[in-house]
Structure 1
Amino acid sequence: MSQILLFTKNPLNEQAFEERLRQLGHEVFTTKELVELCLLDNAKHDFIQIFHQIILSETIANVEVKELVKKLRGYTIPIFRKSDEPLEETQLEEWKALGVTEWIESRPSIEVLREKLSSDKLRTESKIVFLPKSEERINLTSLSLSSGELKLFRILHEQKNKTVSREELCLRMWNRQKSNSSMSQLSVMVKHLKDKLAGQGIEGPIIETCWGRGYRLDGKVYEQVGVDEEELKYGNE
């Protein structure tokens, strides 16, 4: 099972939740001090990388959670927000764009908690590809993207810096010819994909608009995001 790092302002508040995690076989390290430490400095705390998931308690204010996510998403570890507050789908998407992987109720059933923490997409083993000079790329499957956004990314990625026409993108995305409706849908999806990638630490223009021709991935994206051959095959299905 996973090793979980639980950030909180009050460790006593977490006892029942910790017990549920341990019932599922997870190892839990609960910390109050690290909350302030991460908020106060920009230092990289290497020991955090030994954990498989990070959970941010409901005892931490939303404004502080946003700052913590900015600091923690660089570790490419799934980040969960624990809260009593139910969210609308649009609110959840906004949090995911900031870097939160998923929302967990503060008093979940064992079954719900088990499934939230056991999804294959949340596992971090083998998700980082190590490159020369100790540079790290984030694996595509560790990014929080919708199925449509993943498909669009894969189509652009496989072209290796070449421009993909809007006509081809509409055909491959939705199996239909270019129209005002599909062009508008494509523009919205490109914007959402750019915003989500930027919100998860991907730097640069990300997607370049080649006026009159189409779209292409910026070269720096290939240096920051790793995609294996199996993922490209999936994107072509």
Structure 2
Amino acid sequence: MSQILLLTNNPMNEPTFEKRLRQLGHEVFISRELIDLCLMEDANNEFIKMFHQIILSETLANAEVKELVRTLSSYSIPIFRKSDERVPETELEEWKELGVTEWIESRPSIESLREKLSCNNVRKEGKIVFLPKSEEKRPLSALTLSGGELKLFRILYEQEKQTISREEICLRMWNRQKSNSSMSQLSVMVKHLKDKLASQHIQGPIIETCWGRGYRLDETVYEQVYLDADELKYGNE
């Protein structure tokens, strides 16, 4: 079974949940101190690779979770958020865009916990790729993206690290106002673009979800990809 890292502000809160994980055969490591280590700038977090899944306790504030997800998502390890409350679908979608793989109830049945932690949500060995820092920037034309993904990338890139609202993206992508359909379509396209870029070795969070405001490209993307004048001109036509 999996080796699971459970990050919590109060280890005394976790015995029942830990027992359920162990009933399923998982190895569990519970820590409060590693939260600070994960959030330290320039810290060596290579120990994260020991684990197949990470669970963030309900004792962590949302702000802490966002920072942890931002740091840990580069390791391609599924990250779960444990909570006492059921999360609205729209909010859950935003959490997933930030990098949370799935939501787990703090007092789940064995069956539901088993399925949430199934093999589909486990890090696949050999899938994590780290490129040398010296790799040169690539032109956008060197990446394999669909027409819609190219357009979305240009829209985000032209913001120069600034946030752009979902409403504005929908208007520029499809020339229509915000609706449930367009919001859903945009969420799917953002996920596909992130996955496509990651599969072509673009590092970092890639696209950041700015809570309640919209999206922006992570600054590391600008260090890895560039648009030449012709591409910028084409994107504005």
Q: Same fold by TM-score, threshold 0.5 exceeded?
A: yes
1:193 corresponds to = 190
Q: 2:87 is paired with a residue of what secondary structure?
A: coil
Is residue 2–residue 53 contact of structure 2 (8 Å, CA) maintained in 1? yes
TM-score for both structures, normalised by structure 1? 0.61
| 2:94 counterpart of 1:76 | no
Is residue 83–residue 103 contact of structure 1 (8 Å, CA) maintained in 2? yes
Query: 1 CA distance for matches of 2:226 and 2:78?
Result: 22
Unaligned runs of 5+ in 2: 152-172, 195-205, 210-217
The count of aligned residue pairs is 178
Q: Which amino acid aligns with 2:38?
A: C
Q: Which amino acid aligns with 2:207?
A: A
Q: 2:80 is paired with a residue of what secondary structure?
A: strand
Query: 1 CA distance for matches of 2:101 and 2:226?
Result: 21
2:103 corresponds to = 103
Is residue 79–residue 99 contact of structure 2 (8 Å, CA) maintained in 1? yes
Superposed, 1:78-97 pairs within 5 Å as: 78-97=78-97
Query: 1 CA distance for matches of 2:142 and 2:182?
Result: 21
Which of 171, 196, 203 in structure 1 is aligned with 2:221?
Answer: 203
After superposition, the CA RMSD in angstroms is 3.8
Identity among equivalent positions (%) equals 55
Higher helix share: 1
Q: 1:54 is paired with a residue of what secondary structure?
A: strand
Query: 1 CA distance for matches of 2:236 and 2:36?
Result: 50
CA distance 1:184–1:24, change in 2 (3 Å) = farther
Is residue 2–residue 52 contact of structure 2 (8 Å, CA) maintained in 1? yes
Q: 1:199 is paired with a residue of what secondary structure?
A: strand
CA distance 1:82–1:164, change in 2 (3 Å) = closer
Is residue 52–residue 77 contact of structure 2 (8 Å, CA) maintained in 1? yes
Q: Which amino acid aligns with 1:203?
A: V
2:169 corresponds to = none
Unaligned runs of 5+ in 1: 137-156, 170-181, 214-237
Q: Could you tell me how far 1:160 is from its partner in structure 2?
A: 5.4
1:114 corresponds to = 114
Is residue 6–residue 31 contact of structure 1 (8 Å, CA) maintained in 2? yes
Is residue 3–residue 26 contact of structure 1 (8 Å, CA) maintained in 2? yes
CA distance 1:46–1:162, change in 2 (3 Å) = closer
Is residue 99–residue 199 contact of structure 1 (8 Å, CA) maintained in 2? no
Is residue 8–residue 32 contact of structure 1 (8 Å, CA) maintained in 2? yes
